[in-house]
Amino acid sequence: MKKILFIAGARPNFMKISALTRAASLYRDKVQIGIIHTGQHYDDGLSEVFFREFKMPRPLANLGIGSGGRKEQIGKALKLLSAYMRTMRPDLIVVVGDVNSTLAGALAGASENIPVAHVEAGLRSFNWKMPEEANRVMTDHLSDLLFVTEESAINNLKAEGISEEKIFFTGNVMIDTLLHFGSLADKSDVLIKNSLTPKNYALLTLHRTENVSDGKCLEELLFAMNEIHKSIPIICPLHPRTEKALKDFNLTANFNILGPQSYLDFMSLQKNAEFVLTDSGGIQEEATIFNVPCITLREETERPITCELGTNEVVGRDREKIFEAVGRVLNGEWKKREGEIRGWDGNAGERTMNIIVKLLSC
Ligand code: UD1
């Protein structure tokens, strides 16, 4: 029996690990799986709630690294994960996405000489100011198996000299989770609780360091959001980082603020929104599948397929550009998704685990 350890740490990891552990359960006669939670996200609303909703296996351990900045998070997680790997000796470590815990997992694997698989490999924003971009690049170069969600990722990895033999196009595991739990989200009462009617509000998420850690930038974005709210209600589940930034910079949001939402409630809010305003990576992909217009409040995206075939447009942070984009949505001039996206079909986890199990059995 081969042992696989999945490393999870922050909110966007849990949707991906959920799909992979569901798929791994099909191979329970061949592989034994476990989850290690680094504890990067520790609030119930950013972590525990997802284990409950997805009915995921409980983590074998929570390393409790907590917050404290990038260097501290990566350093603590690397030390504790390495110690865990030395005792556990898994046959493979699986890391997902681009958070600090992802990189720490890949570093621990490399330092303990344990093969690493990276799921959602090869995405590039080419913006080195984003901690996530550095995490993506370093994780990919430390990994032995790279599972990609879109064509651009293959080109990026090849351009960086990564051998084609390590790269597998298996699709998007986050979309597996969306399709798996989609009908449950329809039962959520989040719209009623917040007095919202479908297609009559905009959903906003904002948490990227480059958007919220700079007071001028956050002020500009907030001005734009407060103006848009006069035409259509904006609802915003607030990330703790943004909540703190609003206080620190003494800025006021006139739109509706909620705490972090559970997955099913957030899916319901997203699916029923007239449009989404976001700086998140995953939401650009989810909005594309829901066929909901997505205005990305960043200067670039590492997920170009969402712009080429999906409902996403990278609009930036300039208020006039944001108003122009919102105007087009409200006039019904926004694009729809162009057909299906390869590999975003609900079976990416199975394809990924199939390859992993085959390679581990050799
Ligand atoms: C991290 C990821 C980002 C991901 C995001 C989703 C990195 C580099 N970034 O950013 O890619 O999109 O998660 O949420 O890993 N905090 C709480 N409660 C928690 C967790 C965090 O209050 O449960 C606070 C921290 O104290 C800190 C802030 O939120 O002040 C930021 O947390 P951190 O883990 O540094 O990264 P995120 O901004 O959440």
Residues with catalytic roles: 207
Q: Determine if ligand 1 sits within 6 Å of the CB of residue 41.
A: yes
Ligand 1: which atom is nearest the Cα of residue 12?
6
For residue 255, the number of C-alpha atoms closer than 13 Å in the C-beta half-sphere is: 24
Nearest in space to 285 (alpha carbons), one of 319, 311, 254: 311
Are 135 and 103 within 8 A, CB to CB? yes
Over its length of 362 residues, how does the chain's per-residue pLDDT go in tens digits? 999 999 999 999 999 999 999 999 999 999 999 999 999 999 999 999 999 999 999 999 999 999 989 999 999 999 999 999 999 999 999 999 999 999 999 999 999 999 999 999 999 999 998 999 999 999 999 999 999 999 999 999 999 999 999 999 999 999 999 999 988 999 999 999 999 999 999 999 999 998 999 999 999 999 999 999 999 999 999 999 999 999 999 999 999 999 999 999 999 999 999 999 999 999 999 999 999 999 999 999 999 999 999 999 999 999 999 999 999 999 999 999 999 999 999 999 999 999 999 999 86
Please tell me the distance between residue 339's alpha carbon and the centre of ligand 1 in angstroms: 34
Please tell me the distance between residue 10's alpha carbon and the centre of ligand 1 in angstroms: 7
CA-based angle 147:152:157, to the nearest 5?
A: 60
DSSP secondary structure, 142-198, as one string: H-SEEEESSHHHHHHHHHTT--GGGEEE---HHHHHHHHHHHHHTT--HHHHTT--T
Ligand 1: which atom is nearest the Cα of residue 131?
8
Q: Determine if ligand 1 sits within 6 Å of the CB of residue 241.
A: yes
Alpha carbon distance 122, 119 (integer Å): 9
* Atom 20 of ligand 1, nearest CA residue: 41
- Starting at the edge strand found earlier in the chain, the sheet holding 312-314 runs 256-258, 234-237, 202-205, 275-278, 294-296, 312-314
Alpha carbon distance 76, 58 (integer Å): 21
Q: Determine if ligand 1 sits within 6 Å of the CB of residue 99.
A: yes
